[in-house]
Amino acid sequence: MQRGALNVNRIRKDFPILCRKIKDRPLVYFDNAATTQKPLSVIDAIRDYYMNYNSNIHRAVHQMAEEATQAYETTRQKVANLINSPSTDEIIFTRNATEAINLVSHTWGHDNIRKNDRILITELEHHSNIVPWQILCKQSRASLDYVDVDKGGYLDMDQCEKALHNKNTKLISISEVSNVLGTIVPIKKIVKMAHDQNIPVLVDAAQSVPHMPVDVQALDCDFMVFSAHKMLGPTGVGVLYVKKDILEKLEPFISGGDMIKEVHKYDTIYNDLPYKFEAGTPNIADVIGFSAAIDYLSHLGMDKIRDHEIELTRYAMDAMKDIKGITLYGPLDTKNKGGVISFNLGDIHPHDLATILNDHGIAIRSGHHCAQVLMEKFDLSATSRASFYIYNTVEEVDIFINALNDARRLFGI
């Protein structure tokens, strides 16, 4: 049945994988925070590249190389438009969000973080936004500070402000939406607080850009990272946005071909932005596939996608709350929550629960979700997590609720 802002029945027809069965039941794919499914247009764009104009880019003058270069650079323009970046010079393709954060920690971090400096992150962060800073802090003898998260899944904003007033704090790196609790962090407010103290801000937008409108100029953040595979695109493509005045001062991360203008025996002149940061042959086919993914999302409208997820999340949480023995983690107010629900059911281990749900054809995630700092804070080793996207329906949520009740009965809860 069609209830939300999106024509989900129409959308589902574009995703071949949604026709498959798991354990003889229709697939219910609720693991979208890990990666999303791909529409035919994305699969076709990759196939078309390999079938019709497979060539390396930025080099040869033959027609296919020009076509490939054009398609690759068109994706960069679409990414810039999607996040309202002032220019394509500020958009760098990486392998994933993780590599994008590493690029910043290895270049900007190396040049700017010194002994006794402090880097501020939060207890909500994914390991990708923790480990690179731990390594940088060890190498530069700086310290890592955390903004606490409360029982409801919200950040302690007073503590955040206080930490930003510490004269040794040199960077805040923070996710816009938690991949575990779904918490939507007030990034704009944090950027303002940080910039008042001249502190740059890196936004881990891996869980926000795929799900809601994001505008780097409105946020005024200095760095932003996200991954194509979480927004209908292929794996192997990430994005790093960096404000131009910062990017212009950065030394290269990976070096070699394509990031150079001239190479002499003992010296090299680097290429213009953003190519200076894209050494070697990039993931051409998947960047081209990503273009089709952005088209698909833009056509639907990021506002409508957000509304659809709010509706599904509210519907699911309302039904889940009535299940005996369930614990929901994170904000209960859908205004402050993305389409991610972490929960536990009695003392059923999340892996057991995920296995039972798999028998019903339902794919959810169980484990620490690459957020062990957060798990420790909540005194948990694991949770189950359902996460939604454009092709999910309330009927699928009903199947999920029935399966949870089956599991509950099976375990005598």
Active-site annotation, residues = 370
State the nearest-atom distance from the C-beta of 128 to ligand PMP, in Å: 4
Residue nearer to ligand PMP on the CB measure, 113 or 370: 370
Does the footprint of ligand PMP cover residue 283 (CB under 6 A)?
no
Residue nearer to ligand PMP on the CB measure, 363 or 401: 363
Does the footprint of ligand PMP cover residue 334 (CB under 6 A)?
no
Q: What binding mask, one character per residue, do residues 131-170 give for ligand PMP by CB under 6 A, x or -?
A: ----------------------------------------
On whether the CB atoms of residues 380 and 328 are closer than 8 A, the answer is no
DSSP 52: I
**Using CB under 6 A, which of 207, 336, 383, 392 touches ligand PMP?**
207
On whether the CB atoms of residues 153 and 175 are closer than 8 A, the answer is no
Does the footprint of ligand PMP cover residue 385 (CB under 6 A)?
no
Residue nearer to ligand PMP on the CB measure, 117 or 123: 123
**Among candidates 204, 249, 242, 198, which has minimal Cα distance to 223?**
242
Helices 284-300 and 302-321, interaxial angle, to 10°? 80
In 3-state terms, what secondary structure has residue 22? strand
**Using CB under 6 A, which of 206, 239, 284, 345 touches ligand PMP?**
206
Does the footprint of ligand PMP cover residue 96 (CB under 6 A)?
yes
Tokens 């996040």 identify what position?
Answer: 83
Chain centroid to CA 85: how far?
17
Does the footprint of ligand PMP cover residue 365 (CB under 6 A)?
no
Burial 369-393 (b: 16+ CB within 10 A, else e): bbbebbbebbebebbbbbbbbbbbb
Does the footprint of ligand PMP cover residue 179 (CB under 6 A)?
yes
Within 8 A by CB and 6+ apart from 271, the residues are 258, 259, 260, 261
Does the footprint of ligand PMP cover residue 128 (CB under 6 A)?
yes
Helices 284-300 and 63-83, interaxial angle, to 10°? 40
| Strand segments (E) across 81-200 | 91-94, 118-122, 143-147, 169-175
**Using CB under 6 A, which of 57, 91, 97, 293 touches ligand PMP?**
97
Residue nearer to ligand PMP on the CB measure, 4 or 233: 233
Does the footprint of ligand PMP cover residue 174 (CB under 6 A)?
no
Does the footprint of ligand PMP cover residue 227 (CB under 6 A)?
yes
Residue nearer to ligand PMP on the CB measure, 185 or 399: 185
Does the footprint of ligand PMP cover residue 208 (CB under 6 A)?
no
**Using CB under 6 A, which of 175, 183, 291, 387 touches ligand PMP?**
175
187: number of Cβ within 10 Å: 22
Does the footprint of ligand PMP cover residue 173 (CB under 6 A)?
no
**Using CB under 6 A, which of the segments 91-99, 184-192, 239-247, 277-285 binds ligand PMP?**
91-99
State the nearest-atom distance from the C-beta of 227 to ligand PMP, in Å: 3
Q: Which two tokens stand for residue 176?
A: 């816009």
**Distance of alpha carbon 139 from alpha carbon 386, whole angstroms:** 38
Q: Which of residues 12-41 bind ligand PMP (CB under 6 A)?
A: 33
User: How many H-runs (helices) and E-runs (strands) does the chain carry?
Assistant: 15, 17
User: What is the binding site for ligand PMP (CB under 6 A)?
Assistant: 33, 96-98, 126, 128-129, 175, 179, 204, 206-207, 227, 370
